[in-house]
Amino acid sequence: MEKALELFSKLITGENVSSKENGDLYEEYNSNMEMYNIFNSMLDKLNLTLYQYKNALYITAGEKNKIFGYTNEELRKMLGLKVNKELYMCYFIIYNIITLFYKDSSSYSFQEYIKSEDVLKSVDSSLSSIISKLDGVAQNELEENSFKAIALLWEELPLSHSNDLSVNARAYKGSRLGYIKITFNFLKEQNLFIEVEERYYSSDRFKALIENYFEDFRGRLYEIMQSGGNN
């Protein structure tokens, strides 16, 4: 019980637990059946899911967890945004980042890293079909969560807030590259990406969650998407 609590407190505070870091707890989890059972039933009760990937443990609160998940307001605060529409813009960028690495949860990605320009191209092309239909839409009639609202926001942004493109983009919501930077900073903070000289490498945590979580909860997520989130 004590070990299970110790492991829980490490994982919940974002510490790494793997064969290299906190190795004793990792070993204990894999070899002590009693601790394994206690720990897993704790996670079960708290609606958390654990994944083991490349000799390390990763924990997730899933898609709607009232205790361990974040509210829109908290997320906006973390990203430094004011309204939900801007938050949804970031969701959309994150979705594009995922698809640059993965087509589906089981496809191996040959891509080692991506750059802001790759994301920019991807978002541009994803939104282009929506933007082309935007003519004649009254802006104030749009719901903040509609794709048209996001497309309009993107369309109105300049590419970069600096004329000199070689200058590293700042995380500032006044430009498209700025939005991408905001998103990447957030993903870095969430231990999902590592940056070296504007090259963004996906972390093992990112891979562990993408390759396992979505596969496990495929049915439920499809159902939610089908019903438009009224589930």
Partner 1 sequence: MNKEFSYIDEIIDEHNERMQNLKKYYPFFRIREISLDLFMDGKYNFIDMGYIVIAILRLFIEENNFNDEGVSFKEFEKFTTEILKRDYDLYLEVGENLQLINYIFEKIINDGKPFSYSYYDPKEKKTMSSRIRLIESRIEENAIRYYITSQAIEFYLDTKEIKDESKISIQQILLSKMIESKNFKGGIEVVKRINNEVSKLMKRKNEILNILSYNVFEGNKLAEQLINTSMKWFDEEQGLFDKNKKLIELALKRIEESDSSNEEDFLKNREHIYNLETEIKRAISKHGELLNSSTDLKIKSDEIIKKVTLNKLKMSFDFKTVYEKTLDSDNVQLLEYIMNPLLKIKFKKTFNLRNMDELLTYRPNNEEEGEQVVSLEEIEYKSLDDIEDERIAHNFIIFMKLLMKYLLEQREFTLREFNEYLENKLQKDILKNGDYYSFVLQIAQKDYYDMGKLKEDENTIFDKIIIEMLSDTDKDENKGLKFKVVTLPEDTIEISSIFKITNIKFERVE
Q: Write out the binding residues for partner 1, residues 200-229 only, by CB under 8 A.
A: 201, 203-204, 206, 209-210, 213-215, 217-218, 221-222, 224-226, 228-229
Tell me which residues in 183-202 interact with partner 1 (CB under 8 A): 190-192, 194, 196-197, 199, 201
Binding to partner 1, residues 8-67 (CB under 8 A)? 11-14, 48-49, 59-65, 67
| Cα–Cα distances in angstroms (integers) from residue 131 to residues 5, 116, 128, 162, in the given order | 51, 21, 5, 24
Max Cα-Cα span within the chain: 65
Report if residue 74 touches partner 1, rule: CB under 8 A: yes
Contact 127, 149 (CB under 8 A): no
For partner 1, give the closer residue by CB, 34 or 139: 139
List the one residue from 29, 92, 179, 184 that touches partner 1 (CB under 8 A). Answer: 92
Q: Hey, how many other C-beta atoms are within 10 angstroms of the C-beta on 137? A: 13
Does 80 interact with partner 1 (rule: CB under 8 A)? no
Q: Are 100 and 111 in contact (CB under 8 A)?
A: yes
Contact between 104 and partner 1 by CB under 8 A: the answer reads yes
| Backbone CA torsion sign across 151, 156, 162, 166 | positive
